[in-house]
Every structure is written in C-alpha cells, then in structure tokens.
Amino acid sequence: MNILLWAVFWVSTVIILFVLVGYSTITKILARRRGPLESIEPDEWPTVAILIPVFNEEKFIRQKLENILKADYPEDKIAFFVIDNDSTDRSAEIIQEFPVIMLQCERGKNKAINAGLAATDAEIVIVTDVDTTVGPSAVKEAVGLIRDDIGAVSGLVTLRDENIPYMKSKLRFHVSDWEMRYTEGLVDSACSLDGRFLAFRHDLVERLPEKAIIDDLEITFIVRKQGFRCVVSKNTPVLEACPETVWAEMVQIRRRVSTTLVTMGHYWTMIGNPRFGFFGAVTQPWRRAFALILPAFMLYNLVFLTVKLGLWVLWVSLAGMVALIAMREVFPLLQFAGIILGWFHILLGQVKPGGLWQRIERKD
C-alpha cells in the first residue's frame, strides 16, 4: 500500500508539472515552426451575418449596436440580426431604433443563436455578446482568417482595467491564457474559442445541438471534429468588462468550469484522440481535462506529504497562500476555488442545456 501511495504521488506530481509548465513549453516550441496568423483580403468578400443574442440588455444594447454598426465591411455583404431572448425590459423597443433585423425566441442563448442561424444563408456567421466592444476592422480581420483549413476565428478578449484589488493578478493570468490560445492555433486549434466575438463558416455549424450547454466551446468542438482549425485573431481585440466583486468572479469561474466539463463530456471521444491532431491528442487532455482536476492532484500531494513528513508541510503551504494574498496575486487562488465549485455545480445537477444566462450586475 505504501508503494502504491508513493506511486500515485509521483504520477500526480508529473501531471501537475506538465499542466503548469510542460504543456506550454512544448506548444511554444512547436509554434516556432509556424508563421504568424495573418488576415488575407479575398478577391471577393463573403456574405456575413452578425448575430447578437439579447436578454434584458436595455442598459447596454444601444452602445453595442452603435459599436457594431460601425463595422468596416461591404454594406451589401453584411446583415445584423438581434435576437431578443424573451426580454422583459425595454430591450426590444431600443433595438427597433436601429437598422437591424430583430428576431424573437424563447429564453436560452443557444436557442437565440439557432434562431439566427436559421434566419440567414450568409457564408460566415459572427456571434457577439452585448457587453463587448470591437474596432471597425474586427469583421474583416476575422473573416480574412477563415480560409483553407481554418473554419472558425475568435477575437482576442482583452480586459478593461477595472479598479478592483486583484485586477493586476487577473490581467497577468488573462494575458497568459490568451497568448497560449493564440499559440495553440498556430500548432493546431485553440483549446476554446470565445463567444464574445466568434466567427465561423455557416456550412460547418448549421445548428447547435439541443444538448449544448455553452455555445463557444461547442462550436470549437464541432468545427475541429470536421477537420478544420479554430484560431484566435490577435488583430481583433474584444474589450470585456470584469465582475466587480470576488463572489461575482467566483460565480463566473464556476459557471465556465462546469459548462466546460459537461461539454467535454459530450465530445469525450475526441479527448486524447490523435485523429484530431494536437488539439485532440494533447491540448484537450492537458490544457483542459487534467487542468480541471488539478486541485484534486494538488490536494492529494498536500495531504500525502503532510502525513509522511509532518504538519510543517501544511503550514508552509498556508504561508505560501498568505504570501500570494499579501502580494495581491490572488487570481490563481480564485481559479483553484472556482474549479472546485464548478465540480459541485455539476454534482448538484445545476448545469442545464440551452445556454440560459444571467448577467452579473454592474454599476455601469
């Protein structure tokens, strides 16, 4: 039994080190062989449909539409669809003030996206959230990357610099995460695209499945399963606001973790499968699957070493956590706690299909 416990400890240690250091190192080495992703202007721009799901967004919808309607794209090749998701506020009234096509559907973001997909025959579809802003060139930059083996493109999500205590810590984590997603796209496909601004070929995604939990990761798997890459455009920054409280941050992380775990369960045959290239064989197991059970490995090692070596191991670990908090490097701790809460969210059966969402309230 003692040998088995030590074996589990060393296997756990190897997994922790590879998730934290090994995966990123290997991915960066492989990416050096590839050139940067560059948007190419086609001889003729394809038709584009912009889908904007809306649920009770009277505070933000005007700003969003004013922003997205500035898109620098041929007017005869682009259409804007705003899907009112059974709002109970003035969202629909405000939408009617703009030159867009308004659709109605019952509650659920995925249902809103499917309503938009059914209403257009555009070659390229772009889904974008209300609480994000993009530059005028965003549409052209994303569309110019969809070619050959690239089937979907995500904007590079950047954070507004908020006056919250852990902002610098979150920024460091966020920048590192998105740099890795871009790097993954050079090698094969990003671990996940992002629904704040997500462009894809309509013929690859004609409809989201009824079982779908979250749109962006679902689309990433659907597109990659058909043999096409999913990449991040560095020249398409998407500005996102942050939750203003630690609890709101935890809720957001918990939701992302739980929906990611369930969606990966839907596509479990792709995880660890070399048939789907680096994305299936390496990215999904190590960047996602093992990373989302990393707290279990770390907790096992902590308990094991505490039992074997004494309570001083526990005190050193607690001192390390206090030091991180003192240096305001708290976002990794929030991620750790959010992963644990995400698992409880699943075990309690609180993750439902359809993409229901609730805005995290903000003062602005």
Q: Is pLDDT at 328 greater than 80 in this prediction?
A: no
- Residue 232 has a CB neighbour count (10 Å cut-off) of 27
Average pLDDT of the residues in 277-291? 96
Q: What is the overall mean pLDDT for the chain? A: 90
Write down the residue that tokens 């590192």 correspond to: 176
- Give the pLDDT band (50/70/90) at residue 364: very low
* Tokens matching residue 295: 């707290």
Q: Which helix (H) or strand (E) holds 230?
A: strand 229-240
- Distance in angstroms (rounded) separating the CA atoms of residues 167 and 158: 12
Dmax (CA) of the chain? 71
Closest CA to 201 of 177, 180, 179, 227: 227
Q: Please tell me whether the overall predicted TM-score, pTM, comes out greater than 0.75 for this model.
A: yes
C-alpha distances out from residue 142 to 17, 69, 103, 134, 199, Å: 35, 16, 25, 11, 7
Q: Is pLDDT at 326 greater than 90 in this prediction?
A: no
- Please give, one letter per residue, the 3-state secondary structure of 253-305: HHHHHHHHHHHHHHCHHHCCCHHHHHHHHHHHHHHHHCHHHHHHHHHHHHHHH
Which of 71-80, 82-91, 141-150 has the lowest average pLDDT? 82-91
- Distance in angstroms (rounded) separating the CA atoms of residues 326 and 335: 17
Q: Is pLDDT at 296 greater than 90 in this prediction?
A: yes
What lies within 8 Å, CB to CB, of 259 at 6+ separation is: 213, 214, 217, 351
Question: pLDDT by residue (tens digit) across 175-184?
Answer: 899 999 999 9
Q: What top-level class would CATH report for the domain 48-247?
A: alpha beta
Question: pLDDT by residue (tens digit) across 45-60?
Answer: 999 999 999 998 988 8
- Distance in angstroms (rounded) separating the CA atoms of residues 163 and 191: 30
